[in-house]
Amino acid sequence: MTPITLQSLTLAGVVLCVIAVLFSVLVIPTIAPQTFFVASCVLLGLAVWMHRAQFGTEQYERSTLKYTLRNAASGIVILMVILGIIGFFYFNKYNGPSIMGPAPPAISLPVVGGGLASVAKNAVSRVKEVMRTGKLTM
């Protein structure tokens, strides 16, 4: 009897996923999208697991890529900000107010108190009221 190895399990998993997808497409087409999704997730998981098992020591534990990216991170962020600003102005330039909708009405400042003379008269009357009654009413 042959021993079960990682490669035979992986091959069996891939074959099982392909058979499940073919079965769902041919026999029950209403569940085909869900079967495609599950099969692709299983195959992606198998691929990540095999890659990690094969290249784990070299690529993940002694990785020099993260040190290279750490040194280049500030340049990458600055480039992304510049591209974002250029994209913002580009899309605002060519997408005029027709996409934005009608302009909002103009905002006018409210008129409060009727001017400085009215405010001063109100303040004087409040002071007289406090002097007469000894209480300030709001």
The set of residues, in sequence order, having a beta carbon less than 8 Å from that of 137 and lying 6+ positions away, is: 129
Q: In the prediction, which pLDDT does 81 show?
A: 94
User: Within this chain, do residues 43 and 56 fall inside the same structural domain, yes or no?
Assistant: yes
Residue 88 lies in a domain: yes
**Nearest alpha carbon to residue 60 among 48, 69, 52, 68:** 52
Q: What is the pTM of this model?
A: 0.38
Residues of the chain with pLDDT under 70: 1-9, 57-63, 94-101, 110-114, 137-138
Residue 31 forms part of a structural domain: yes
Q: Are 44 and 76 members of one domain?
A: no
With b meaning 16 or more CB within 10 Å and e meaning fewer, what string describes 16-31? Answer: ebeeebeebeeeeeee
Report the alpha-carbon distance of residue 71 to residue 74 in Å, rounded: 7
**Does residue 41 sit in the same domain as residue 75?**
no
Instruction: Please write the tens of the pLDDT for every residue from 76-89.
Output: 899 999 999 898 88
**104 within domain boundaries:** no
| Number of neighbours of residue 39 by Cβ within 10 angstroms | 19
- Same domain assignment for residues 81 and 57: no
User: What is the tally of structural domains in the chain?
Assistant: 2
Count the alpha carbons within 13 Å of 103 in the hemisphere toward its beta carbon.
5
The confidence score (pLDDT) of residue 94 equals 66
Name the residue range of residue 71's domain: 64-92
